[in-house]
Amino acid sequence: MARPSGRSQKVGDQIQRELSEIIHRELRDPRVGLITLTAVDVSPDCGYATVYFTCLDRNHVRAAEVGLKRATGFLRTQLGKRIKIWTTPELKFSYDESVERGDRLSRLIDSANKDNPAKPADASET
């Protein structure tokens, strides 16, 4: 993946802030209520934006995707009213598995450490 330019990064950050607020304050779809936006990747021409989200409950992901897809037009319209940009990007929503993957790795590490406890650092060997 190419490193985003400074402008694309700033636009992505602004889109993330505004969409988070719109979703939590104005969107009335219960399927989308418990999501968190984790990142936004904007194309260099700002024509497209991929919005990454995560859910508290893994079983809720499919319903959230359906709700976000259905609300895309409303979200894009509201976003266009809030940000000052020539063209409001087309929005695509994608589930961010990195949080879940990180949690799974953390649990594996904790499990391995529990099974094989380390010696205390201040214990002296005789």
Question: Residue 120 falls within a domain, yes or no?
Answer: no
Tell me, rounded to whole angstroms, the distance of Cα 125 from its chain centroid: 48
| pLDDT value of residue 42 | 93
Q: How many domains does the chain have?
A: 1
Give the pLDDT confidence of 43-92 residue by residue, as tens digits. Answer: 988 899 999 999 888 888 999 999 999 999 999 999 999 988 888 999 99
- CATH code, domain with 79: 3.30.300.20
Task: Evaluate whether 91 touches 77 at the Cβ level (below 8 Å).
Answer: no
Give the pLDDT confidence of 52-61 residue by residue, as tens digits. Answer: 999 888 888 9
Question: Residue 46 falls within a domain, yes or no?
Answer: yes
Question: Residue 37 falls within a domain, yes or no?
Answer: yes
Question: Residue 124 falls within a domain, yes or no?
Answer: no
Question: Residue 39 falls within a domain, yes or no?
Answer: yes
Task: Evaluate whether 64 touches 55 at the Cβ level (below 8 Å).
Answer: yes
5: left (phi over 0), alpha (psi -120 to 50) or beta: beta
In this structure, the strands spanning 48-55 and 35-42 are: antiparallel
